[in-house]
Structure 1
Amino acid sequence: MAYTITTSLLNRLIALAKGAELSSSDCKGTIFNELVQEGLLITIPKGRGSCCKAPNGKALRVYLATRDDAFKDLEKTEAIYREISCSEDGATPFAPRNIQASTTGNSKIRKTRSCKGFLVNCYEPILVSLNEKKFEINPPEGSFVFIADYESFFIPENVIVVGVENMENFRYISRQQKLFQDYLIKCFGDSNYTHASLLFVSRYPQSSDLVKWLQNSKNLYIHFGDLDLAGINIYLTEFFARIGDRASFLIPPDADSRIANGCRERYDDQILKFEKMKVADKRVQPLVDLIRKYHKGYDQEGFID
């Protein structure tokens, strides 16, 4: 299909099917060229320009219906594109697959995200709220909870959210408890946050859903990723840039020794791309300095006991 279905395109086709005349400038593109070649559209000179008209509106509709499932019922499809919710960028209309299927018989006339949301995990029970119903997150080891309706997902304000880049680390969080506890003590000393519950969220499947949820919450966020330039860049651009000082990067107390014994190849692969990386969060500058000092990076899988 060498054309993009839009509300504008559908409205022009509907107008032509109803007998309207449209300027030739409004009838440019693959689908209109095809209709002209099939004799379903004709060009009529008008003043200094020309216009297009369908000699037989019914024949035009029949042809379009065989051309694409989205054209089986032009008016209903146009209503889907106009009235149903918008995609992540706020501009491209889309419809849930069940509505697409019931209207056109094809659930794939428009790309949609059938599975929005993100995974969560914890190693101690946390009471949360989803769709105004309270329940306890406490997945057995080896399983996770997927939060689809994240817009109505709420957690206590004293729970700290930990974003985990790597799925292996996300799976084995119970084997990294000492790391997290040491970090809380280092950051918060003898405050209430030292013994705060931790809700672990996975960065994958990668989308903006997690960041959107974090932006609408008041919880502290700790980013747990690789100790390398790429991992720091992910934190700075995807999280710190959007939620500010509520976010922090997990720098373990023994970062110096871990990076000193890290991977030189990882650093060499990244330095050209991130050599001029701007470190907006000055709290991670010491980590950047260590990475550049040793010319090495450290994979977060190394924290799994």
Structure 2
Amino acid sequence: MIDREQNLRLGDARKLSQMMQGESVPSSGLSKQMAEELLSEDLIWQQVYGSRRKFKLRDANALSIYLAQRYGIQVSLDEWIKVMESGETVSRARQVEVTSRSKAKSTRSFTGFLVKSYQPIETSLYGEPLLINPPQGLSLFIEDFTHFRLADDVTVVGIENGENFQHIEQMRHLFKNIKVLFVSRYPQSSDLRTWLRAISNPYLHFGDFDLAGIHIFLTEFFTHLGLKARFFIPSDIETRLQTGNTLLYNLQYERFKEMKVIDERLKPLVAMIHRYRRIYEQEGYLQNR
């Protein structure tokens, strides 16, 4: 049988399968390691009912991509569970087929990242012109990002949330005066950051307006890109924070209360979040939502 040490645990996989069907699971249902891993990646969030806490999945597609990248799962999670539960009754070849690991070792199933736009964006691939202009409902996956370049007047906008990335046309009002190419942070890897370091275009990070989102920006982007990277702060964010989510602020506070805000431009936003003791999720900026 496949050595499952350091692999995805079956117990965790079963709970994740339930969550992908829209269910909430008790916080005790996931292993501590898995819960911390998914919370840190902002793939799940906690619901609080008195003394009880449950986990809820943010985006099933993002989780599928993450499981492929982190654990090498090459099929649906339910099929992976079925094969792994079969144990010795299934050939080793079949077990290896559904996971990219024949040993307990992390591997990359593919490289690259997703891009999307609601207006024609001039780019080049291998030095040849490439116009990025997918129809609504489609995005492009850039595999060989080392040869992918943008026109000088394009700003790269990184989107944290899957729903926002799927509906970029509902965010035109936020980026009226600039040409933007939207990129997704998932599949979770360093590929996007590596590409951003290699190009001269500015990077604008559009995440949730909370302590966890700011932490992601500071640790994964600002520390590597410097002032070329900027956290997107809409002009009306203070008004929105005043009616934001107190529960999520409280859930994040203990973990991030001592966070060092190394980007001076973010200190007013962090102070604002603490002053109102609320956060605001980026989905709220989707028009017609």
Corresponding position of 2:126: 131
1:134 is paired with a residue whose SS is: strand
2:248 counterpart of 1:253: no
How much identity, in percent, do the aligned residues show? 47
Q: CA deviation at 1:198?
A: 0.4
C-alpha separation in 2, matches of 1:261 and 1:176: 20
Contact 1:131 1:149 in 2 (8 A): no
Please state whether the residue corresponding to 1:161 is helix, strand or coil.
Answer: strand
- Residue 199 of structure 1 is matched in structure 2 by 181
The C-alpha deviation readout for 1:159-203, integer Å capped at 9, x for no partner, is 10000000111111111111223xxxxxxxxxxxxx331000001
Aligned length: 193
- Would the alpha carbon gap of residues 3 and 299 (structure 1) be closer, same or farther in structure 2, given more than 3 Å must change? closer
- 1:135-169: per-residue Cα shift (whole Å, max 9, x none)? 11101101101101111111112210000000111
- Tell me how far apart the structure 2 counterparts of residues 163 and 120 of structure 1 sit (CA, whole Å): 9
Matched residue SS, 1:234? helix
Q: Match for residue 171 of structure 1?
A: 166
Q: Report whether the alignment pairs 1:218 with 2:200.
A: yes
The alpha-carbon deviation at position 224 of structure 1 amounts to: 0.1
The TM-score, its normalising length taken from structure 1, stands at: 0.60
Q: How far off is 1:230 after superposition?
A: 0.4
Partner of 1:292 in structure 2? 274
The reply on whether 1:147 has 2:142 as its aligned counterpart is yes
- CA separation in 2, counterparts of 1:107 and 1:172? 32
Deviation at 1:114, TM superposition (A): 3.1
Give the TM-score normalised by structure 2.
Answer: 0.63
1:114 — aligned with what?
109
Aligned-pair distance for 1:107? 7.5
- Output the CA distance in 2 between the equivalents of 1:278 and 1:107: 38
Q: Mark the CA change 1:281 to 1:135 in structure 2 (over 3 Å): closer, same or farther.
A: same
1:106-147 C-alpha deviation (Å, 9 max, x unpaired)? 985575423211000111101211123221110110110110
The answer on whether the counterparts of 2:100 and 2:109 sit within 8 Å (CA) in structure 1 is: no
Task: Please tell me the residue identity of whatever aligns with 2:245.
Answer: C
The structure whose RCO (Cα within 8 Å, separation 6+) is larger is 2
Distance (whole Å) between structure 2 residues aligned to residue 267 and residue 112 of structure 1: 35
Give the equivalent residue in structure 2 for 1:17: none
Distance 1:2 1:147, change over 3 A: closer
| CA deviation map 1:204-226 (0-9, x unaligned) | 11111000000111110000000
1:265-304 mapped onto 2 (5 Å cutoff): 265-304=247-286
Q: What whole-Å deviation, never above 9, does each CA across 1:15-66 have from its counterpart, x for those lacking one?
A: xxxxxxxxxxxxxxxxxxxxxxxxxxxxxxxxxxxxxxxxxxxxxxxxxxxx
- CA 1:3–1:147: 2 relative to 1, 3 Å: closer
Structure 1 unaligned spans of 5+: 5-100, 182-194
> 1:3: how far off?
12
1:159 aligns with 2:154: yes
- Measured in 2, the distance between the counterparts of 1:266 and 1:158 equals 37
Letter in 2 for 1:155: L
The ranges of structure 1 where at least 4 consecutive aligned residues each deviate by more than 3 angstroms after the TM superposition are 1-4, 105-112
* Contact 1:229 1:270 (8 Å CA) reproduced: yes
Q: State the superposition RMSD in angstroms.
A: 2.2
